[in-house]
Amino acid sequence: MNVKFEDMAARNNIIELKDIGQSYDGGQSWIIKGLQLLIEDKPDQGQFIVLLGMSGSGKSTLLRYIAGLQEPTEGQVLINGQPISDKDRVSMVFQQYSSLPWMTVLDNVALGLKYQGVGKKERYERAMDLIELVGLAGHEKKYAQYPALSGGQLQRVAIARSIIANPQIILMDEPFGALDIKTRFQMQDLIINLWHRFHSTIVFVTHDIDEAVYLADDIYIMKSQPSNIIEHIDIDLPLKRDRSTKREAHFTELVQQVEDTMIRVAGIK
């Protein structure tokens, strides 16, 4: 269905992108133009939002706006109704492994708490709790680098580090794109379990339609330049999902719906 923002105006929105435009040549051409996105705040539940679109449609750029890493040429980016500030609890997980290879797994995971001034004993205890939660117990003294850790383990380090300070928003830019299929499935289940535990709002970029449907509450599809969000698909699956969900007829119907929409948006005949 088409995106309609009018009926969301009265709700409390955790993320709001208003009339966003991005130009790198003084307005002669626009990479993004007139983009609107409202993500409703759902306390004690959180949301899992997936952005889909062709390469170059601006998905990663939207994440950078929300993270405060880039400002749009025009428009507003609001978190909880206010311009982004250092007080906003936003974490980001990238596709490329972002752990610091000269530090141990334990020190990597605890890093955010160190910057917050949390004492060593407390931050290590909290970090170990998360290390166990993401399945890395026994690896905490290893350096966070390949080949000491596999690709999947390095992404587990990044995810644990991103949630240790209990962020309100977690941004994930194709975090499983470089993983083998077995590890990717394991990571999908891990992130679902962590979402239900911490109730963050997750904004997730992927090119994998099955993955998008399996993870998402809502999928927003972006068209190519000038980029905009032109479709919103409500993924009406139960919040509690496991691999059996992928065998259900409704899951297959949703995958086909998203695929058909992507084909139409891309202009494929």
**Within-domain flag for 84:** no
**Within-domain flag for 36:** yes
Final residue in a domain of this structure, among 165, 193, 218: 165
Please tell me whether residues 52 and 97 are part of one structural domain.
Answer: no
Task: Print the domain residue range for 14.
Answer: 1-77+167-269
**Within-domain flag for 83:** no
Q: What is the pLDDT of residues 126-145, one digit of tens each?
A: 999 999 999 999 999 999 99
Burial class (CB in 10 A: 0-12, 13-18, 19+), 203: buried
Strand partners, 265: none
Final residue in a domain of this structure, among 132, 147, 165: 165
Please tell me whether residues 200 and 252 are part of one structural domain.
Answer: yes
Mean pLDDT by 10 residues, the chain (269 residues): 43 88 92 93 90 90 94 94 82 79 94 89 94 93 91 90 88 89 91 90 95 96 90 93 94 96 80
Please tell me whether residues 20 and 60 are part of one structural domain.
Answer: yes
Please tell me whether residues 177 and 112 are part of one structural domain.
Answer: no
* Overall pTM surpassing 0.75 (yes/no): yes
What per-residue string of b and e applies to 18-49 under the rule 16 or more CB within 10 Å gives b?
eebbbbeeeeeebbbbebebbbbbeeeebbbb
**Within-domain flag for 220:** yes
Please tell me whether residues 104 and 139 are part of one structural domain.
Answer: yes
Q: Based on the structure, what is the number of domains in the chain?
A: 2
Q: What is the pLDDT of residues 189-236, one digit of tens each?
A: 999 999 988 899 999 999 999 999 999 999 999 998 789 999 999 999
Please tell me whether residues 11 and 96 are part of one structural domain.
Answer: no
**Within-domain flag for 221:** yes
